[in-house]
Structure 1
Amino acid sequence: MKNQEFINNLHKILKEKYKGNVSKFALAAGINYGTLRTYLKRGSKPNPDILKKLANAAGMTTDELYPTGMKYEGIEPALLKKSRPIPVISWVKAGGWTETCETFRPEDAESWIQSDVSGECIFALRVKGDSMEDLFYDGDIIIVNPHIQPEIGDFVIVKNHQEECTFKQLKKYGDKYVLRPLNEKYQEMEVKKDEFRIVGVVVEKRRRFR
């Protein structure tokens, strides 16, 4: 069957990450349920935009989800972005990252990953705790862009007056800003605009299964 490795990868992610729930997988990827079913059953070739969405939901790069050794006429060479090293830093360093990224020493990174995310001062963090389950789990790697203008609904890294950083979804009800954990056992935090600063917007996540 064509693109069998791609199909196998999708089924592995569906089983291990989404516990067989196609609807949850489709929702995380931001694509139609029927579209995902087609890829799972027939191995249809995804367009570049959908491939990127599926890879983000899988916590993989597009090359990992759809290996570049496979024939893929649907992607123009210009769309196959080259990856670059991104530092995984501590949550303590994240608070002052925009001020220190230009002088950051490579040996100060906890580790390095490869990503095709574009932008300056891109960094990564390792998720701690379960407050953002069922979409982000303890140990997941999230890639953060500090120069994107945050929008309501984005997943953001936020710093408070105590210089502590947290990972939440940004919501707004009327004139009230709310930092929302995805795990329902945690409460939303209502904050005033001058009580927090957004360090960056989460643009990608990664997860290793072995």
Structure 2
Amino acid sequence: MNLKGLIYRELGEGLTEKELAAAVGVSPGTIDRILANKSPKEPAVWHQFAKYFRMDADFLRAGAPRKTPGRSRKAGIGPTVPMRKVPLVSWEAIGRMAAGEANATVHDSDAMLETDVQGPRAFALRVKDDSMNPLFGEGEIIFVNPDLECEPGHYVVAGPRRTPEQAVLRELRTIGTQYVLHPLNRRRKDTLLTHDHFLWGRVVRLRKDL
């Protein structure tokens, strides 16, 4: 669901445009322009909406974290990121993929997806439920890199160490000194991250066109 859809959802739950604008911290005119298919240009506005909807601003805006610009090889031209194929695997195969087992790709992959996501052990998963609505819809594709460090604010795949098939997609957050796995769906509850949990990887891309 995009920003316009999120706004319509809030209005459908009883808020007026003026009330929503005040809650987000933007002008009513900003709401009107978004509903007229004019996306905000100011990063600060995106951050205000991201804070209200409890999302990462870059995911809300583009479906992927912001990339750090590299040095240009030629004037005005950035470095080319090579395309590659990574496996779209079942949730039951997460443990084998994260462990780098050579036969996991062959036996557990549903497809090979072309992407510029980097990382030798990167893989893709299909979102299995509505626990991360409205940012991650059921059936959409996420790309996961198991080699990246996971910090609060990152979207992660985590679950019991011995039963990786029970892993879930969540936002990693802190409450006091404790880490929690936070669902974006307001009907779901936080889960305390314990020693029995394992972070199987960090979400680095959301692909909305599948």
Q: Normalising TM by the smaller chain, what interval?
A: 0.5 to 0.7
**Aligned counterpart, 2:91:** 91
How many Å apart are 1:175 and its aligned residue? Answer: 1.9
**Aligned counterpart, 1:207:** 208
Structure 1 stretches lacking a partner, 5+ long: 1-12, 35-52, 63-72
Counterparts in 2 of 1:85-124, with a 5 A limit? Answer: 85-106=85-106, 108-124=108-124
**Aligned counterpart, 1:187:** 189
Give the residue type in structure 2 aligned to 1:195.
D
Counterparts in 2 of 1:161-180, with a 5 A limit? Answer: 161-163=161-163, 164-180=166-182
Counterparts in 2 of 1:1-210, with a 5 A limit? Answer: 22=34, 31-33=43-45, 57-58=62-63, 76-78=77-79, 80-106=80-106, 108-163=108-163, 164-192=166-194, 194-208=195-209
Normalising by structure 1, what TM-score?
A: 0.65
Give the residue type in structure 2 aligned to 1:118.
Q
Provide, for residues 112-133 of structure 1, a one-character-per-residue CA deviation record: whole Å limited to 9, x for no partner: 2111111110000000111000
How many Å apart are 1:99 and its aligned residue? Answer: 1.9
Distance 1:74 1:132 in 2: 41
8 Å CA contact 1:156, 1:170 repeated in 2: yes
Distance 2:149 2:100 in 1: 20
How many Å apart are 1:206 and its aligned residue? Answer: 0.5
8 Å CA contact 1:56, 1:205 repeated in 2: no
8 Å CA contact 2:89, 2:105 repeated in 1: no
Distance 2:207 2:86 in 1: 13
8 Å CA contact 1:56, 1:204 repeated in 2: no
Q: 1:18 to 1:87 in 2, by over 3 A?
A: farther
Larger CA deviation: 103-112 vs 134-143? 103-112
Identical columns (%):
27
Larger CA deviation: 104-113 vs 148-157? 104-113
Structure 2 stretches lacking a partner, 5+ long: 10-30, 47-57, 68-73
Q: 1:114 to 1:160 in 2, by over 3 A?
A: same
8 Å CA contact 2:145, 2:204 repeated in 1: yes
Distance 1:175 1:162 in 2: 25
Distance 1:153 1:54 in 2: 11
The size of the alignment, in residue pairs, is 163
8 Å CA contact 1:26, 1:32 repeated in 2: no
Larger CA deviation: 166-175 vs 122-131? 166-175
Distance 2:114 2:126 in 1: 15
Moved over 4 A (4+): 13-23, 53-56
Q: 1:16 to 1:106 in 2, by over 3 A?
A: farther
Provide, for residues 6-65 of structure 1, a one-character-per-residue CA deviation record: whole Å limited to 9, x for no partner: xxxxxxx66678769749x979xx93438xxxxxxxxxxxxxxxxxx5897247xx9xxx
Alignment partner of 1:178: what SS? strand
